[in-house]
Amino acid sequence: MLRLPKTLTDILSDAREWHVETGGKHYKLVVNGRLAGVLTKGTGRQNYRDVLNTKTQIRRILSLQS
């Protein structure tokens, strides 16, 4: 199972609803019905750039829907 980084869980506390969909090689993070990011499976450690981009996407989704 995916363990989300703390930077993402802090921002997700402001979302109405969010969930993680499991794919073959990736996890899809869906926030308020929109795809916010794709995180890779495997190593257990996420690339810093992937987490930063996902964080930005979450913030963008939350600002558009408020």
Tell me the pLDDT tens digit for each residue of 9-39: 999 999 999 999 999 989 999 999 999 999 8
Computed on alpha carbons and rounded to an integer, the radius of gyration of the chain in Å comes to: 11
User: What confidence tens digit (pLDDT) does each residue in 57-66 have?
Assistant: 999 999 998 7
Burial class, 31, CB count within 10 angstroms (exposed 0-12 / middle 13-18 / buried 19+) = buried
Beta sheet of 26-31, edge-to-edge order: 18-22, 26-31, 34-40
Query: What's the rounded Cα separation, in Å, for the pair 65 and 7?
Result: 20
Q: Does the model's pTM come out above 0.85? A: yes
Structure tokens at 10: 């802090």
